[in-house]
Structure 1
Amino acid sequence: MQTMIVVDVSIVTIALPSIQSDLDIHQSRLGWVINAYTIGFGGLLLLAGRLGDLIGRKTVFSAGVAAFTVASALSGSAWSQEFLIATRFIQGVGAGLAYAVAMSIVITLFTEPRERGRALGLVGFAQAAGASVGIVLGGVLSHAISWHWVFYVNVPIGIVASVLAVRLIPKDSGIGLRAGLDVIGAVLATAGLMLGAYAIVIIGDHGWNSPHALAGLVSLALLGGFILRQTTARVPLVPLGFLRNRALAGGNIIHILTTGSTVPFTIMIALYFQQVAGYSPLHAAFALMPLAIASAFTSLAVYPRLASRFDSRRMLAAGLTVVASGLLLAARLPADPLYTIDILPAITLVGAGSGIVMPAVIAASMAVRDLREAGLASGVAATSGMIGDTAGIAALTTLAAAHTAALLNDGLQPVPALNDGFHLAFGTAAALAAIAVAIAFLLLRRPDARNTPAPH
């Protein structure tokens, strides 16, 4: 389910032209097929994670899976743009509920280091390879069958996930709503995050100087009000001690920087394939396969072995260095590339590094001292990942487009101008990965007894 939730952010991308044609969607509204999902997804992550602690993680996860599955079926049968956008929003809400507690379920179920390493490797694969898997799957389904199946494919997987959740996830009643249901704080956090997600995605379409950018300022005001509320509430939604956890803060900052560099790269390298290298959409989808394969190998086979020998700080530093190396290679891709010589090394390095980084950053982001706060930590980690990839895509695509436009105005031909725009974006992503390495050494300490989670 974790994989499908991440996949669903990108699976629609390649199907958009077919959706636009069938439903007669105006170009200005086409982006909302993706944006509606992002806003619904991002707005509930923090609240859903805390609800997992209060009323039970299994309950929240199962509710999210059910909503995601039903909304996927409705999206696949959409007959109008309004209906599709509405069901995509509901799909995002369901995804947010399930995704917010998924990591806390893993952390509380698996306490033995080797088993936890294997489990986090699986979750890390969902994070690292989800975007590329989505692009490949979207290309195959939309071209071989129809765009409806980029949504219908979720239905059988959601049903299986629901059945397995009932049978395999232990029932937990939570600590009770009275232990931390701050209604005012919940409203401020949800409204702030949802408006923030809206601001990020709309700025990508209209620019930082548009009136829509005011939504970002309102979002910051709401989130500021939420933090202030937590200092005065009798029973805060987010306990103040949680906010002072240095390891957790460092893990989430690294999470933002990591997703802000790797997820935009996956989207933009697919655009590079089509706009610069001249690949067809389906060819571009399959050209990304080595990234997913490399990520699967390192997250599933390599990370579990390393997790029992090295701390998160060392694994993050090593994995991010590999990611940055791949991004720097991508920043030098020619306009007429040879796939095996120019492209393959870059995407393989990014995939291999991401397969180490994502489970390691999840482990760092879940560094709670009390497992009764695992759901909250999971929601915060999910929120940081959402902020990273959404803001990263908006910022890096805007940066590339602005640089390309400036070069075109200077008389450069379209293909070289586009290529230089991608170079700038990939180089900036490499810089973000390098900054994350420095933060890993500054904020993450060697593990000690004080950072070991309490027994469940």
Structure 2
Amino acid sequence: MSAVEVPAPAEGRVRHAPYWAVLTLLCLGQLMVVLDVSIVNVALPAIRQDLGFSEAGLAWVVNGYTLAYSGFLLFGGRAADLFGRRRLFVIGLVVFTAASLVGALAQDQTTLVVARIVQGIGGAILSPATLTILTTTFPEGPQRAKAMGAWSAVAGGGAAIGSVLGGVLTDLINWRWILLVNIPLGVIGLIAAYLLLQESHGNLKTRKLDVTGSVLVTAGLVALVYGTINSAPYGWGAPQTLVPFLAGLVLLAWFVLHEAKIAQAPVVPLRLFKVRSITVANLVMFCVGVAVIAHFFFLSLYMQNVLGFGPLAAGLAFLPGAATMTIGAYSGPVLLKRFGPRPLLVAGPLITTVGLVWLSFIPVHGSYPAHLLVPMALVTLGAGVAMMPLGMAATSGVAREEAGLASGLINTTRQVGGSIGLAVLATVAADRAQALAGTGADAAVVSGYRAAFLVGAVFALAAALTSLALPKPKQPA
């Protein structure tokens, strides 16, 4: 298998592009997006010192990106189907790369936070385009399974790789390089997109975008995630939390009503959720996002604030986890062929559950080899095993014209799960630490981390149990 055919319906031509080249380009785009969710975590102390951030303001270097990314993903996925997959891939890459440059050159707090927000919007356009092009380029079967395995390895391992790369760049050069590294990657991606990708659209009856639905779902997700983020500093009962959270729920309920009763060309046709594999896959992805994405944040804090690791040491400490996640994802095609998706979607989250429960026993005076290495590897291995079957379950059987929507939906579920999960678990950790404030600073903080890991384990277990509802295919993919 050396080449794939990339159809160009509008022009009536077929372009032959090397298999490895198309796949490498799509994985590069996805890697850039996923890296920037976690690459800043290890660099936060250096950013605070350089630009004079307060603790509350510093959180928005992370939250600004995740808020915009999760809010605009569904819009990005639908826009790719309507206006062209290559066009949206290029637009997303340009926006993401330009915002990275602005953020890297930022001399004040506002510029950096705004750049991170624009980065998130660019990522929300780019990410679903990568998966959409993959699912519409490679036919179901061995070709798509191999391509999905590679893409899943990048999507799953990117968070761990981001933590490693962030520590290395911050310690050896400067924190600004965590953003500057996107510039050469973006330029290479743009050149490759024009050389390798042919434009394609969904075969839709109308190319009109449901503006009302797009506004409602984007505003609803942003308000929901924003309210959840505010729960960490203000608590769940504060107006700063309740008002946006409830507003988000109202907007999302209005969105569902609009899509079901009013929209002629809905952003999310609700009939998609009648397909049990799509519904189950998105529920599982949400729980996995809550459990796994947040654990990188708490491990970074534990290693730097409690164990005294520097940025480089903390970044390198994530390297074994990145390796096991990549191994788990790359083993997907072989395991999927042998067992089918449901056993993998049960086993993966169960492995992650074991790792998170293990982490919930970390001591105040712990050591990396004895208390972190193995459970960290288990958490990411389980996530890697689950990534490919999740992607397959969420997109297989979807009509070609709705591939972008399905891709955007599963990405949205993962990111919203990660954003909400981080905010909820941060609140759990803070409440636990405050309750034990009299036991000593480190002891109280570590107790909060333990509670967060344990709640994450509950979500991972919920993902495993939910996977049992996935319909069993007639034969393995």
Normalising TM by the smaller chain, what interval?
Answer: over 0.9
| Matched position secondary structure for 2:206 | helix
User: Given the alignment of the two structures, is residue 271 of structure 1 paired with residue 301 of structure 2, yes or no?
Assistant: yes
Which of residues 189, 193, 196 is equivalent to 2:224?
196
Whether 1:47 and 2:90 are equivalent positions in the alignment is no
The answer to whether the 8 A contact 1:180-1:237 is kept is no
Aligned to 1:422: 449
TM-score (norm 1): 0.93
Q: How does 1:219-368 map to 2 (within 5 A)?
A: 219-231=248-260, 232-300=262-330, 302-368=331-397
Displacement over 6 Å in runs of 4+: none
Query: Could you tell me which residue of structure 2 aligns to residue 9 of structure 1?
Result: 37
C-alpha separation between the residues in 1 aligned to 2:291 and 2:366? 22
Q: CA deviation at 1:220?
A: 1.1
Q: Which residue of 1 aligns with 2:47?
A: 19
Give the alignment's TM-score, normalised by structure 2.
Answer: 0.89
Q: Which segments of 5 or more consecutive residues in structure 2 lack a partner in the other structure?
A: 1-28
SS for the counterpart of 1:178 is: coil
| CA contact 1:40–1:89 (8 Å) conserved in 2 | yes
% identity of equivalent residues: 34
Q: Deviations over 1:206-261 (max 9, x none)?
A: 22122122111111111111111112222322223213222101100000000100
Counterparts of 1:258 and 1:228 in 2: how far apart (Å)?
28
Map of 2:66 onto structure 1? 38
Q: C-alpha deviations, 1:277-296, integer Å up to 9, x for none? A: 33233222211111001111
Offset of residue 336 of structure 1: 2.6
Instruction: Quote the RMSD (CA, aligned, Å).
Output: 1.9
Q: CA deviation at 1:179?
A: 4.5
2:180 aligns with 152
In structure 2, the CA distance between the partners of 1:369 and 1:280, relative to structure 1 (3 Å rule), is closer
Alpha-carbon shift at residue 112 of structure 1 (Å): 4.4
Cα 1:23–1:275 change in 2 (3 A) is closer
Deviation at 1:151, TM superposition (A): 0.8
Which residue type is aligned with residue 334 of structure 2?
Answer: R
**1:426 is aligned with what amino acid?**
F
8 A contact 2:203–2:400 mirrored in 1: no
Q: How many Å separate the matches in 1 of 2:446 and 2:42?
A: 20
1:447 partner SS = coil
Match of 2:155 in 1: 127
Q: 8 Å contact 2:294–2:425 — kept in the other structure?
A: yes
CA deviation after TM superposition for structure 1 residue 199, in Å: 2.0
Q: Is the CA contact 1:322–1:352 (under 8 Å) kept in the aligned structure 2?
A: yes
1:55–1:176 CA contact under 8 A, matched in 2: no
Q: How does 1:142-181 map to 2 (within 5 A)?
A: 142-175=170-203, 178-179=206-207, 181=209
Q: Distance in 2 between matches of 1:368 and 1:47?
A: 21
Unaligned ranges ≥5, structure 1: none
Question: How many angstroms apart in 1 are the aligned matches of 2:279 and 2:325?
Answer: 25
Question: Which of residues 241, 244, 252 in structure 2 aligns to 1:215?
Answer: 244
Q: CA deviation at 1:317?
A: 0.7
Residue 271 of structure 1 deviates from its aligned partner by 1.5
Please tell me whether the aligned partners of residues 298 and 449 of structure 2 are also in contact (alpha carbons under 8 angstroms). Answer: yes
Deviation at 1:94, TM superposition (A): 0.5
Task: Tell me what 1:447 maps to.
Answer: 473
Code of the residue aligned with 1:447 in structure 2: it is P
In the alignment of these two chains, the number of paired residues is 447
